[in-house]
Amino acid sequence: MNEETDRLLERLLEAPPGPQREQILARIDANRREEALKLLDAGDLVWEAAHSAPPLEKDPVAAMLGVVPDPNFQLDAKALARACKTSRVKPTALASRLNARGWKIDASDVFRWQTRPAPDVPPALIKAIAEEVHSEPERLVARSQPQRTALVEVAENIAASPRFRDLVQRFATIRQISVEMAESAMKSRMLATVHRGDMPDQEQMLASLESLVHALETEQDR
């Protein structure tokens, strides 16, 4: 009897949540059911621990929203210092304004951005900074050489295609952002999407972007 329960317990722990699990649980001796439930709970907690948000750079939604730092769209320290001076916005004030928009920023961050390269600042935050210092995102950005990996090369090939240019234009229009920012977001999204599985071909990557832009346009038309 005990062996039978042990076998049931083994099967129970292998069963996914659902009717099968419930059926096995019902067949377990009442005096061992509490133990079985604890073991199930422990497993479910491990499942939850294993299922959290993907790393930022692998999250296509984050890429679409421009919160993935982009080496090709980096904040330029001198340009930011100049823009702050021109607009007479001090670091503390800029930090407060960005915080009011939902960004977790200290004045020390702004000081750092004005004095050192800031590869951690994502395009969406650069856009917010630009709005607060009455500038354009592109004016605050330093161009840098992208790292050449096989994946980046695929993305660059796609980026050179007329279809991608068209998608970037449409994305920029819908999101009311510059073409450069739209391009950054769409390239990041392409790269993030690739991390989800095998290396897709160019057609798949373009189709994925196309469906995103189409979804945004459809929402807009509603």
Q: Which positions lie near other proteins, rule CB under 8 A?
A: 9-10, 13-14, 16-19, 37-39, 41-54, 59-62, 64-67, 87-90, 92-93, 96-97, 100-104, 122, 124-125, 128, 174-175, 196, 212, 215-216, 219-220, 222
Of 103 and 111, which has the nearer Cβ to other proteins? 103
Of 199 and 215, which has the nearer Cβ to other proteins? 215
Name the minimum Å distance from CB 179 to other proteins.
Answer: 18
| Cα–Cα distance list, 75 to 71, 83, 168, 197 (Å) | 10, 12, 21, 31
Of 87 and 149, which has the nearer Cβ to other proteins? 87
Of 97 and 112, which has the nearer Cβ to other proteins? 97
Name the minimum Å distance from CB 145 to other proteins.
Answer: 26
Of 26 and 100, which has the nearer Cβ to other proteins? 100
Name the minimum Å distance from CB 16 to other proteins.
Answer: 6
Name the minimum Å distance from CB 154 to other proteins.
Answer: 20
Name the minimum Å distance from CB 1 to other proteins.
Answer: 18
Report whether 106 contacts 95 (CB < 8 A). yes
The per-residue DSSP string of the chain comes to: -HHHHHHHHHHHHHSPTTHHHHHHHHHS-HHHHHHHHHHHHHHHHHHHHH--PPPGGG-HHHHHHT-S--TTSEE-HHHHHHHHHHHT--HHHHHHHHHHTT----HHHHHHHHHS-BTT--HHHHHHHHHHTTS-GGGGEE--PPP--HHHHHHHHHHTSHHHHHHHHHHHHHHT--HHHHHHHHHHHHHHHHTTSS---HHHHHHHHHHHHHHHHHHHH-
Nearest-angstrom CA–CA distance, 70 and 141: 11
Name the minimum Å distance from CB 216 to other proteins.
Answer: 6
Of 164 and 171, which has the nearer Cβ to other proteins? 171
